[in-house]
Amino acid sequence: MQILGIDIGGTGIKGAPVDLEKEDYLGERFRIPTPKPATPEAVAECVQEIINHFNWKGPVGVGFPTVIVNGQAKAYGNMDKSWLNVQIDKLFEDKTGLPFTVINDADAAGLAEMRFGNGKEKKGLVAVITVGTGIGSGLFYNGQLIPNFELGRIQYKKKPIEFYAANSARKREELSYEEWAERFDFFLKQVELVCTPDYYIIGGGISKHIDTFKHVLTTKVPLDAAKTRNHAGLIGAAFAAMEASEK
């Protein structure tokens, strides 16, 4: 089954057709910068641009970087404040005329990793942590998604901890990967106070550099990079849309 997956992030919006039977792209990934300000209207224009680029006519899955309940934004994360309470699936459907399924972006990445990657057949509590502009988290128990577990919003120094420990903080403060990893290690310790996972999978843009910082991490929880790497959000969003179409 072929479905267009779109991953909306704080700095970029990317899309690619996904063949979910082969976990393979049908074309090159297309990426455009996230508009500033990232208002609903501006992002909907970007989604339309991706649809046009692929001349897409079928269902679309979207990973969006905040709490999503039944296609509606219950917060705004790193996006514009005007996203609060927007019915995102309807917004994009009205814009494009196509059917949309919208879920949290880290949940989407987690779905991809649990189906096709290092989470496949893993039991217990698996935390898929995506590190980019912010920190997203997809939590799974015996393979079943526990949606909207926003561990990056844990408060630290009166701000969400992602402000301190995301990849954007590393870039903003010009930290080495090892210096940044000490912060990420602190984040993992806070996670373990909340839920004590049996396994960590690290995704997002930072995952391709895991060999440069993994030795800094002191967590005793087994940890590995996402097999689907930075493509996980696309694949998982498409998978969520496939599941929705089968209901």
pLDDT in tens, 91-133: 999 999 999 999 999 899 899 999 888 999 899 999 999 998 8
Alpha carbons within 13 angstroms on the beta-carbon side of residue 161 total 21
Count of domains forming the chain: 2
Question: What is the extent of the structural domain holding 198?
Answer: 119-227
Residue 113 in domain: no
**126 and 93 both lie in a single domain:** no
Q: Which of 53-57, 232-236, 243-247 has the lowest mean pLDDT?
A: 243-247
Retrieve residue 111's tokens.
């779905």
**86 and 45 both lie in a single domain:** yes
> 147-200, pLDDT tens digit by residue?
888 899 999 999 999 999 999 999 999 999 999 999 999 999 999 999 999 999
d(CA 30, CA 188): 32
More confident position, 61 or 204 = 61
**148 and 57 both lie in a single domain:** no
Amino acid at 95: K
Residue 69 in domain: yes
Quickly list DSSP for 64-124.
ESS-EETTEES--TTS-GGGTT-BHHHHHHHHHSS-EEEEEHHHHHHHHHHHHSTTTT--S
pLDDT bin (cut points 50, 70, 90) of residue 230 is confident
